[in-house]
Amino acid sequence: MYDFSEEQLQRYSRHIILQDVGVEGQEKLLTSSVLIIGTGGLGTPAAQFLAAAGIGKIGLVDADRVELSNLQRQVLHHTPDVGKLKVQSAKEKINAMNPDVEVKTYDYYLTSQNIKEVIREYDFVIDGTDNFPAKFLINDACVMEGKPFSHAGIIRFGGQTTTVVPGEDTPCYRCIFPQPPKPGSVPSCKEAGVIGVMGGVIGTIQATEAIKYILGKGELLTGKLLTYDALKMDFRKINLKKRENCGVCSDDPEITELIDYEQGVCEL
């Protein structure tokens, strides 16, 4: 049984009084771990709310440094952080917000050579990346390692997200998109733009999925693609099907080794 301090009982009191959380649920959160790959528009709001919720260990992966153009949507980074490593900037804000949380940083890009070792430490993975090679790498590694994860993407005034739990009879990212698009065939964030609040809307949904998975409560977005059109204020759920011939999650997968696809520039 977790030994809650008086300060923790007060900090998490709104969780503890919830029927679907309570003391046992808060203990699960405090003893759980979530890896966030990408500390940008999606990853920073997700990290903020997971830290506030008391996730015991949060891993942050990002090799980039804070730029002024990031501040319109990457809410854990502030003007004085420009030039600082994003993982360090985010860690400082999380430590100031909630000292209960252990923050582990990885200031390098994940590749086929190192991703499995990193994700093995965590209970749940959040894909907050902005390029297709990373998204396919994360999907394939998580399926191979049996790690549940949340996928998301945002562009202009729209976003989408789904949750993948390997081992269940539900689709993975490759069931929806078998192969990455050709480099340059999708507009970059610099070309297409994105309204800043999109990261907050979709990133906090990703954090919600992580919390629900850890608590074992509610219905996850497995087998569903949730899309959001901010201009119409329209949420839609699209049913997804597992592909019997999926290259990575089928009974006889043709992809058995991780692939480092050609990296585009900030593709969304």
Domains, in order of start, for the chain: 32-239 (3.40.50.720)
Count other Cβ atoms within 10 Å, centred on residue 80.
9
What is the chain's pLDDT, residue by residue, as a tens digit (268 residues)? 789 999 999 999 999 999 999 999 999 999 999 999 999 999 999 999 999 999 999 999 999 999 999 999 999 999 999 999 999 999 999 999 999 999 999 999 999 999 999 999 999 999 999 999 999 999 999 999 999 999 999 999 999 999 999 988 889 999 999 998 877 777 756 678 999 999 999 999 999 999 999 999 999 999 999 999 999 999 999 999 999 999 999 999 999 999 999 865 443 3
In this prediction, residue 265 carries a pLDDT of: 46
pTM: 0.95
The string of DSSP letters for 138-164 reads HHHHHHHHT--EEEEEEEBTEEEEEEE
Structure tokens at 11: 């900090």
Those residues with Cβ within 8 angstroms of residue 126's Cβ, 6 or more apart along the chain or in another chain: 34, 35, 36, 37, 42, 43, 46, 149, 150, 152, 206, 207, 210
Q: How many Å from the N-terminal Cα to the C-terminal Cα in the chain? A: 44
Strands across the sheet with 234-239, in order? 102-106, 57-61, 33-37, 124-127, 149-155, 158-164, 224-229, 234-239
Residue 118's nearest CA partner among 134, 133, 94, 96 is 134
Q: HSE (CB half, 13 Å, CA atoms) of 214? A: 30
In this prediction, residue 183 carries a pLDDT of: 73
In this prediction, residue 264 carries a pLDDT of: 53
Q: Are 147 and 210 in contact (CB under 8 A)?
A: no
| Residue with tokens 């993948």, as numbered in its chain | 164
